[in-house]
Structure 1
Amino acid sequence: MKLRHVRVVAVTAVVLVALTGARRSGGGGCSGDSDSGSSSTSTSGGVTSGGSSSGSSGTGGSGTDSATRDVTIADCKVNAERKVVARLRIDNPDAGTAMTYGITVEFKDAQGLSWGTASVFGHRVPAGQVSTVEAEGVYTGGRDGSEVTRCEVTSATRY
């Protein structure tokens, strides 16, 4: 399968999850359940991980916690199989309801060019609990992955 086909499938999956989550949450993009920003960074193995953690300010929503705030990138790398891999920590702040998450992480170089995305969809986190999951995707570079210097959550949806 050609790279453009892989990208089309990935984008379609992200859109499908986003639309399904928005519909189940009462519709509309203003519900605060989806966010496309990142607000915290940490360094692990030479790669800066951008993500969000609970309590930090996000870029979307209407005063309620957004899904991106629930996600922290614990680690991200290009592995030996030449795949981009992000280890994600998801904190479900809702003590009364289990949530299902769809998350996409983008891997970038120092200039901001994308070298791949990793996604996980349908990951259920029990009410008030923390879960760890790995998102894996296709590395689009031609080298060993050393050009990847940071990664960030580009979308997160919960429903």
Structure 2
Amino acid sequence: MKLIMTHEVTGLGAPGDIVEVRDGYGRNYLLPRGLAVKWTRGGQKQVDQIRRARQARDIRDLDEAKEVAERLGGMKVQLSQRAGKGGRLFGSVTASKVAEAVKASGGPAVDKRRVEIRNAIKSVGEHKVEVRLHPEVSATISLEVTGA
């Protein structure tokens, strides 16, 4: 299935990219969530518009993303979660909770969709979380999860 990406999806593409995916992935995940639209010849005009807008935005955002990455790189973010005996959390830390904790720690506002938690955080302690600020810029946050 040939699709035009409308939002960035890690490992797949950025807005304006034309990608080829399996039918089920496109039909059941990308299309219903509005992350992509079906490719058509008329859609090629949309691709050109999206790419022009993205290029103008990326040039502006690259400098800002580097500044935000510097601020985030030196931050220690603390997050309090309910935990049981032995430091095991009830549930896990989500991207939205990380974004809220960054803002509460005095950091810049981070979009929860940009927060990447590679391995589920299910225990108390120090963890590393990556934030994709720009396709070329990402920052690593030191997250300290404490039991409450």
Question: Same fold by TM (over 0.5)?
Answer: no
More strand by share: 1
Q: Which has the higher contact order (CA 8 A, sep 6+)?
A: 1
More helix by share: 2
Query: Over alpha carbons, which structure has the higher Rg?
Result: 2
Instruction: Name the TM-score, length of structure 1 as normaliser.
Output: 0.29
Instruction: Name the TM-score, length of structure 2 as normaliser.
Output: 0.30
